[in-house]
Amino acid sequence: MYVKHLQCISCGKEYPATPQQLTCSECGPDGILDVIYDYSQIQKVFTKENLAINRDHSIWRYMPLLPIDPNVKRPSLRVGGTPIYYAKKLGKAIGVEKLYLKDDGLNPTGSLKDRASSIAVVKAVEAGAKIVACSSTGNAASSLAGNVASLNEYDLKACIFVPERAPAGKIAQLLIYGAIVISVEGSYEDAFNLSAAAIEKYGWYNRNAAINPYLVEGKKTVAFEICEQLNWEAPDWAVFSVGDGCTIAGAYKGFYDLYQLGMIDKIPKLIGVQAEGCAPLTRAWETGEPWQKTEENTLADSIAVGSPRNPEKALNAVRKSQGMMVNVSDEEILKMQTFIGRHTGVFGEPAGVTGFAGLKKLIDEKKISPEDSYVVVITGNGLKDIANARKAAGEPVRIAPDLEKLDQLLKEYGLIDKL
């Protein structure tokens, strides 16, 4: 509605904003496009007052800032509107007074990726596609499958390519949603390449990876919600785990939009957190050199991305916001799962708690001030990955069914003091 055009972030070339235009024709697959809006027109309809009386609590409440035709059929899942918590007890535990946690694991399919996939589905419908495809075993795939299934008046199929080693639990979620799931005998790269060839050959709509410029526009709604939920007082810092780089890039775009519209008085500094075993973007940020492909050596599968597909937008987000990047170990990640769980009641998957692990590390190392305000986004639900939760959580105490034994146990564990 209010989209002016697409623009290449490398060469600046402009393109009409069609659903099919995904990358810059001049710069090739690395020519990432950005959606450019007409803020002066948006300002006339998009106001704090209008939002206050808007009873749609999904991402569609931000329609004027979304790159979709409002008349096109949309998935019916309620994406967005996830809760933000003032995490007083958790903040106290790390010495930060103004700490907020946004639990995006409460999106319909369990992750922030729903924000991107719902937009992808609308673009596929706009494009008149019959099949939308991607290669993934993770949150992108399940959110695509779920959002496709929830379309009521348009016959679209999700086709997901997975490597044969994909965990059965994640496959189950895809099949439940009725996606066509093609298990490719080979590596993730084999699955990716086959999906790319099929998309090319059959003309399917492409939800593969970060280059689709419309997906970031869905992800940016997390920034809108943060600001609106904090009564338009932008936090000093916003913290995200980083894999492909799309989520932090989306958050930046969201804060940028609101800043351009005069709805917040600053863009929060962005902290991007990667896993030590897979940190190409942190390395690029630290050295100023171009990013280089790395191993994918972390249990936080949702951010195990050795070749990030949105490196420039992600690094721009951190640099332009005067933010920072940091790495954490898998041990720190697992430890933070229980740490966050017991201080907040929020259960994040490993990649979902990685942002907080980075925040804690930076606070511990005195690289950021405990006086500032922080919003940490939990990007995925812990129920998605029970195997790692078990590693994190340890074992319960075992006893015989005998009250004296229980009494003894409670004393041993110092619990008797609490009685």
Q: Which residues are annotated as a binding site for pyridoxal 5'-phosphate?
A: 139, 379
Provide the minimum distance between the beta carbon of 347 and a second copy in the complex, in angstroms, as a whole number.
5
Provide the minimum distance between the beta carbon of 14 and a second copy in the complex, in angstroms, as a whole number.
32
- Beta strand spans in 185-316 (E): 205-206, 237-241, 269-275
Q: Which of 14, 38, 402, 412 binds a second copy (CB under 8 A)?
A: 402
The two beta strands, 131-135 and 157-163, are parallel
Provide the minimum distance between the beta carbon of 79 and a second copy in the complex, in angstroms, as a whole number.
10
User: CA-CA distance, 314 to 337, in Å (whole number)?
Assistant: 25
What are the distances in angstroms from CA 222 to CA 6, 38, 379? 22, 21, 10
Residue 146 near residue 175 (C-beta atoms within 8 A): no
User: CA-CA distance, 32 to 417, in Å (whole number)?
Assistant: 60
Q: How many CB atoms lie within 10 A of CB 26?
A: 11
Question: Interface mask (CB under 8 A) for a second copy, residues 214-253, using x and -?
Answer: ----------------------------------------
Nearer to a second copy, 5 or 157 (CB): 157
Q: Which of residues 170-209 bind a second copy (CB under 8 A)?
A: 171-178, 180-186, 190-191, 193-194, 197-198, 201-204
Q: Which of 19, 67, 108, 218 binds a second copy (CB under 8 A)?
A: 108
Residue 255 near residue 394 (C-beta atoms within 8 A): no
Q: Is 39 exposed, middle or buried (0-12, 13-18, 19+ CB in 10 A)?
A: middle
The two beta strands, 205-206 and 131-135, are parallel
Q: Which residue matches tokens 């939990």?
A: 378
Handedness of CA 135, 136, 139, 141 (dihedral sign): positive
Q: Which residues pair with 180 in a beta bridge?
A: 159
Q: Which of 15, 39, 85, 256 binds a second copy (CB under 8 A)?
A: 85
Q: Is 75 in the site for a second copy (CB under 8 A)?
A: yes
Q: Which of residues 144-173 bind a second copy (CB under 8 A)?
A: 145-153, 157, 162, 164, 168-169, 171-173
Judged by CB under 8 A, the number of residues near a second copy is: 94
Q: Which of 47, 50, 57, 286 binds a second copy (CB under 8 A)?
A: 57
User: CA-CA distance, 410 to 338, in Å (whole number)?
Assistant: 21
Q: Is 5 in the site for a second copy (CB under 8 A)?
A: no
Provide the minimum distance between the beta carbon of 148 and a second copy in the complex, in angstroms, as a whole number.
7
Q: Which of 48, 342, 367, 411 binds a second copy (CB under 8 A)?
A: 342
Q: Is 386 in the site for a second copy (CB under 8 A)?
A: yes
Q: Is 350 in the site for a second copy (CB under 8 A)?
A: no
Provide the minimum distance between the beta carbon of 286 and a second copy in the complex, in angstroms, as a whole number.
32
